[in-house]
A and B are shown apart, each in its own frame.
Chain A
Amino acid sequence: MSSFTESDPLDTVTWINSFCSLLGHEYFAEVSEEFIEDDFNLTGLQSQVPMYKDALEMILDVEPDSDMDPEPDEEDMDDDEEDVMRDEEGYRIDAHGFRLPRGRSISDQSIIESSAELLYGLIHQRFITSRPGIQQMAEKYEAQHFGHCPRVFCNSTKVLPVGIYDTPGIDTVKLFCSSCMDVYTPPNSRFQSVDGAFFGTTFGCLFFMTFPDFQITPQGDPLNLASTHPIYSNTPYVVLREPATVTRRDSRSSSLTSASAPTVPSVPQIPAEWIPPSNQPTTINGTSTGNLAPGLGPGRIHEPKIYGFRVSERAKTGPRMKWLRMRPVDITELDEVGRLGNDRDEDMGDQDATTIKTGKNGTKTATAGQRKKAAAKSRRNLPAADGANGTGQTAS
């Protein structure tokens, strides 16, 4: 690419540049020519793309006709096609302003153009899961090219473009939010013509596995008034997990560090049952605890109310979807080592042990005890639970 620039400084816009700068193509990374020129990366694409060779040449800006005339030729000039566009020097050009190779018809050209877009998309799907590609997407993510989660309790978490399918032509690009682990339709309709397969199903998840240190929840967003509430900003547990910070801020309140209440005055207190026990692991099931769906859990679930009173679950029109936004206060509940098997029956018979809104204050230790009991019971049940329900746990 650099040699190209040096040899022809006036004509530095490549097909890839122009593709990525089209309206609606803002999510795309610029795949490096190096990546495309490596045949290994193109394995299997030949059969998926019509006029593959021409499409590939177009993407790489390779002139298909090596002895193309230096002057616009006569034959081309009195072309009987009606909607021929020409550049200022009289060469026939396509819709993007690129010169048409001699002897290629407009209809061929348009097939090749759409093939080139398809081919680029499929290569792109692979590129963004490669090291340089995911790096480029990380820069775009940091620069907020993909936008934010529309969910209020995600507090403007940055999102990533993903596909629901890896096969082109099925569905358009979606946005994945790692804070609520859900996918959303892009807000602008111009993305509704972008194929989701060009981003693929793997990229979103792989991204956060590749960059486990990215802090998912953003700093408070001034537009979102909820961010002024401590439980909506950053991670509410930081203060609580690191009593040292609290002590440093206010040395007189050192006695408070063992208590559960945050010491910041004039902000609503976090209810005791939302505070995790102190034994929280830094990683859970291979993911950093702080980055596992930080937008979910108590305080981040919409609570329907009528005149200040919560709408009961028992009401005919009461809430039914809270489970979708739940996350255990005690993250060790998700630690599946030693909890293998189908413990669903266990949980049903022992509801209170795992229900968040158990009691007010004194029940904390009691529930922990029950939970331990439940875990022990489910371990005993292990031989009976054969995983036949298809949830397919990894044997470890």
Chain B
Amino acid sequence: MYRSQFISSRGNEYFCDIDEDYLTDRFNLTGLNADVQYYQHALDLVTDVFDVECEDEMRDHIEKSARHLYGLVHARFITTTRGLAKMLDKYKKGEFGKCPRVNCGTQHLLPTGMSDVPGTQFVKLFCPKCEDIYNPKSSRHASIDGAYFGTSFANILFQVYPALVPEKTTARYEPKVFGFKMHAAAALQRWQDNKREEMIERLKAQGIDNPFAMDDDGDDEGDLSSGHEPMDIAGADDL
């Protein structure tokens, strides 16, 4: 079985198993023949009807094409109801890893593309808590084409399952020197805090609740490490 072999091989952990009836419905493959070399052979291989006798070199080409085809169909499949459910299952199990950002706790990640055009960007990992994207830890994953996951999938998933959007946090790292906040960093963070407050006001005007947990107040000082009074110190020139 091509599909089960594909998803269980090392480095392919981010992919889900595309439903057979999705893969065999020609409608779902519209336009892909232009993107995939040896399209028909590749499709035969992916759908386990491959019976062409050919040389090893040719077979290598077809296998590469089959992988590409699987990836392109995968990007479409994971935005369908069935595909979303399969990826959601993997997300819940943490199969895409956890956000490396300390203040995100151990928030699970989702694979995402930065482009839908194949061959332009490698796959990245989206954290729904900090809403930023990260490089996969393993080079096996970092070299997968991002177009096999696409730019829309992660956002569609949360649109379909809005209850799964994690609670946002204003907690963050405050650079300090000998217990004092670094002036330049603190000034930037205050500016960012203002941007956040502006957003909360805009949301309020739209009838949307404050997305941040009530107990983590952005103005809360010194919650980490030091008991010093929160004071800024100037930059390098003062040391």
A376 at interface, CB cutoff 8 A: no
**Can you list, as one digit per residue, whether each of B210-239 has a CB less than 8 Å from chain A (1) or not (0)?**
011000000101001110011111111111
Q: Judge whether B7 is part of the interface by a CB distance below 8 angstroms.
A: no
Could you tell me if B188 and A150 are in contact, using CB atoms closer than 8 angstroms?
no
| B130 A181 Cβ-Cβ under 8 A | no
Residues of B within 8 A of A347 (CB): 194, 197-198
B187 CB contacts on chain A under 8 angstroms = 284-285, 334, 336
Q: Chain B: residues with CB nearer than 8 A to chain A?
A: 100-103, 114, 116, 120-122, 124, 126, 129-135, 137, 142-143, 151-152, 154-156, 158-159, 162, 165, 168, 172-173, 175-179, 182-185, 187-199, 201-203, 206, 208, 211-212, 219, 221, 224-226, 229-239
Q: In the assembled complex, which residues on chain B have CB atoms less than 8 Å from the CB atom of A184? A: 100-102
Residue of A nearest to B152 (CB): A306
Interface stretch, picked from A80-88, A250-258, A268-276, A323-331, is A323-331
Query: Closest residue to B151 on the A side, CB-wise?
Result: A305
B208–A316 contact, CB under 8 A? yes
Beyond A286-B237, A323-B199, A326-B192, whether A391 also contacts B219 by CB under 8 A is yes
CA distance A152 to B187 in the complex (A): 24
Q: Which of A39-47, A48-56, A92-100, A197-205 is the interface stretch?
A: A197-205
What would 10 more interface pairs be, CB under 8 Å, given A205-B182, A320-B211, A347-B197? Answer: A152-B114, A205-B176, A223-B143, A284-B184, A287-B185, A304-B155, A313-B199, A326-B195, A351-B202, A354-B194
Q: A-side interface residues toward B, CB under 8 Å? A: 150-153, 163-167, 174, 176, 181-185, 187, 201-202, 204-206, 209-210, 212, 223-226, 283-287, 292-293, 296, 302, 304-308, 311, 313-317, 319-328, 333-334, 336, 343-344, 347-348, 351, 354-355, 389-394
Report if A392-B232 is in contact (Cβ < 8 Å); known contacts: A152-B124, A182-B173, A317-B165: yes
Q: What B residues does A167 contact at CB under 8 A?
A: 225
How far is A167 from B230 in the complex, measured between Cα atoms in Å? 19
Most buried by A among B162, B184, B206: B184
List residues of chain A with CB within 8 A of the CB of B129: 321
For the residues of B in contact with A, the DSSP-based class is: mixed
Return chain A residues, CB-CB under 8 Å to B226: 166, 201
Contact in complex: A292, B229 (CB < 8 Å): no
In the complex, the chain B residue whose C-beta lies closest to that of A351 is: B198
Q: How far is the CB of B165 from chain A (nearest CB, A)?
A: 5
> Residue B234 contacts which of A286, A292, A304, A316 (CB distance < 8 angstroms)?
A286
A165, A307, A324, A354 interface centre (most CB from chain B within 10 Å): A324
A209 lies within 8 A of B137 (CB): no
Taking a contact as CB atoms under 8 Å apart, the answer to whether B236 and A209 are in contact is: yes
**What residues on B are CB-neighbors of A317 within 8 Å?**
155, 158-159, 162, 165
A152, A165, A392: residue with the most chain B Cβ atoms closer than 10 Å:
A152
Please tell me if the beta carbons of B175 and A176 are within 8 angstroms of each other in the complex.
Answer: yes
A-B contact pairs, 26 of them (CB 8 A): A174-B102, A181-B173, A181-B188, A184-B101, A187-B100, A201-B225, A205-B185, A223-B122, A225-B121, A225-B122, A286-B234, A292-B184, A302-B132, A305-B152, A305-B155, A306-B152, A306-B155, A308-B116, A314-B203, A314-B208, A321-B131, A321-B132, A324-B132, A334-B191, A389-B219, A390-B221
Interface centre among B101, B154, B162, B224 (most CB of A within 10 A): B101
Check A202–B195 contact: CB distance below 8 A.
no
**Contact yes or no, A304 B224, CB < 8 A:** no
Q: Which residues of A contact B202 (CB under 8 A)?
A: 313, 351
- The residue from B198, B229, B235 contacting A287, defined by CB atoms under 8 A apart: B235
**Residues in A whose Cβ lies below 8 Å from that of B143:** 223
